[in-house]
């Protein structure tokens, strides 16, 4: 029986309308009366908790996981609680639609790489905290009004110390179109499974179609495990090695971390260097795709044969799992292919040629005349010490993003990405080691504005982000204490009525 939203009573919140729902919970647009803002209110279906307490535990765990993941590209949790029969938590209300909609409209390579990079950053952060998402897909990437992508729905996330893709009842969790071979077969998974799902999502962003499709979940699973990766159309061939690396059948042949994946995305996007797939990786994965027991080591062969057996055994389990209801993927759309993928913050330049082991080298697209005219000068400036030049570029970009008076939550998120890249390139550089404190100052500026607006929840979130960068930041600590006192006073005042 459907529940009328007006019958649901959550203290301090006025439900406006239903936004969507799934098998476990419904999401409503609600007005948080204490600080007068709209929030996304996620409420678990009461009948689930009544029939099985584990559903409630999983629901609360999702809220706690997201609350620990304070990152510009992960949706923020504001509150969690219980009101009568309803378990709920409130999140940032994100209004810019989801990635699936943008894929249907067609995406340029530049947009694909930008979104891919930002969501990879979110996953890298979640992985660093010990969590594997397990359901990376376009529907779980939402956009703020300023076009910032945000990763959502950690409902089936697991800690990475003991992760498998099957529940105690044997139902495989995830969405078939994006699941890694090891996830589809019930084998143990880790953060590299998320990177595979991210690669499947990237393929769909580039082409408008999922990499593997069939009439049933089990057939899709088999394709992920067995079929070679479809090739991108000729205008997009420069990105094929990147997808080959994301979507390697064997986890050992994929990117081994989100940081490694981000570095490869940056290299392809800026043309700073070519992405080379290590020798043997593609060959081995294609050997597995064509004959699972041939051309791989004995130990691997046994693992893959066991995986095939697991697929066969899981057929009756899949049939009973409501979570695996297939949704028809978007039909292929015309992709607006750009000759050179360039992030918004970088000047236009031709990408370096991206090569594959088994394919002939491709000639880089010709540069526009005005760029070609500048190229010799840039080459002279960078040839002496490319790493130092890159660090200087990152430092300049960072200072531009956090300039006083111009900072915003979006710019702070971009500055964090720049900081991460600078630390990867030159972790011991004194200029780079000073950046966390500068970004913490920027978060102080943002948090102070929110506090002045009496938006204490968001101010506290910004303060925590700043303290993660610089735990001994005295001004942030003082503001956090001041906000805590104001909230305590506010609660005492409301309690007198």
Judged on CB neighbours under 10 Å (0-12, 13-18, 19+), 294 is exposed
* Distance, CA of 301 to CA of 303 (rounded, Å): 5
* Distance, CA of 334 to CA of 327 (rounded, Å): 21
Closest C-alpha to 212, from 184, 186, 188: 184
Structure-block tokens of residue 210: 């999922």
CB burial readout 52-80, b (16+ within 10 A) else e: eeebbebbbebbebbbebbbbbbbbbbbb
Catalytic residue of the set 79, 98, 135, 266:
135
* Distance, CA of 353 to CA of 111 (rounded, Å): 20
State the greatest distance between any 2 C-alpha atoms of the chain, in Å, as a whole number: 77
8 within 8 A of 47, measured Cβ to Cβ: no
Is 135 part of the annotated catalytic residue set? Answer: yes
Question: What sign for the dihedral angle of Cα 480, 484, 486, 490?
Answer: positive
* Distance, CA of 326 to CA of 318 (rounded, Å): 11
The residues annotated with a catalytic role in the active site are 135
């Amino acid at each position: 029986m459907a529940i009328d939203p007006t019958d649901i009573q959550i203290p301090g919140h006025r439900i406006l309308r239903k936004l969507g729902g799934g098998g476990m919970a419904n999401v409503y647009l609600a007005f948080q009366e204490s600080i007068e803002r709209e929030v996304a209110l996620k409420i678990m279906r009461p009948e689930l908790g009544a029939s099985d307490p584990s559903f409630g535990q999983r629901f609360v765990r999702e809220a706690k996981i997201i609350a620990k993941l304070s990152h510009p590209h992960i949706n923020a949790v504001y509150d969690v609680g219980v009101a009568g029969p309803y378990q709920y938590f409130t999140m940032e209300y994100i209004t810019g639609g989801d990635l699936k909609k943008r894929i249907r409209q067609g995406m340029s390579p530049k947009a694909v790489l930008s979104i891919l990079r930002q969501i990879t950053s979110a996953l890298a952060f979640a992985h660093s905290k010990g969590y594997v998402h397990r359901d990376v897909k376009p529907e779980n990437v939402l956009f703020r009004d300023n076009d910032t992508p945000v990763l959502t729905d950690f409902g089936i996330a697991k800690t990475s110390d003991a992760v498998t893709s099957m529940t105690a009842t044997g139902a495989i969790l995830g969405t078939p179109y994006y699941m890694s071979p090891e996830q589809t077969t019930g084998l143990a998974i880790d953060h590299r499974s998320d990177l595979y799902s991210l690669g499947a999502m990237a393929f769909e962003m580039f082409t408008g179609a999922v990499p593997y499709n069939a009439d049933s979940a089990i057939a899709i699973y088999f394709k992920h495990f067995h079929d070679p990766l479809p090739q991108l159309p000729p205008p997009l061939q420069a990105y094929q090695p990147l997808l080959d690396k994301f979507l390697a059948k064997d986890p050992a042949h994929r990117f081994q971390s989100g940081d490694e994946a981000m570095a490869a995305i940056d290299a392809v996007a800026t043309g700073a260097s070519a992405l080379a797939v290590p020798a043997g990786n593609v060959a081995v994965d294609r050997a597995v795709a064509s004959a699972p027991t041939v051309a791989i080591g004995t130990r691997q062969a046994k693992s893959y044969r066991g995986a095939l057996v697991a697929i066969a055994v899981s057929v009756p389990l899949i049939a009973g799992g409501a979570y695996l209801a297939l949704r028809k993927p978007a039909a292929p759309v015309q992709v607006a292919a750009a000759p050179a993928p360039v992030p918004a913050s970088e000047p236009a330049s031709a990408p370096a040629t991206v090569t594959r082991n088994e394919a002939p080298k491709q000639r880089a697209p010709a540069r526009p005349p005005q760029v070609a005219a500048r190229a010799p000068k840039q080459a002279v400036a960078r040839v002496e010490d490319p790493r130092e030049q890159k660090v200087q570029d990152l430092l300049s970009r960072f200072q531009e993003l956090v300039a006083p008076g111009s900072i915003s939550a979006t710019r702070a998120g971009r500055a964090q990405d720049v900081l991460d890249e600078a630390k990867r390139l030159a972790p011991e550089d004194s200029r780079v080691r000073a950046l966390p404190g500068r970004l913490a100052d920027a978060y102080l500026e943002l948090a102070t504005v929110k506090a002045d607006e009496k938006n204490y929840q968001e101010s506290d979130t910004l303060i925590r982000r700043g303290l993660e960068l610089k735990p001994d930041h005295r001004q942030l600590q003082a503001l956090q204490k001041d906000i805590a006192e104001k909230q305590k006073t506010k609660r005492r005042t409301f309690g007198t009525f």
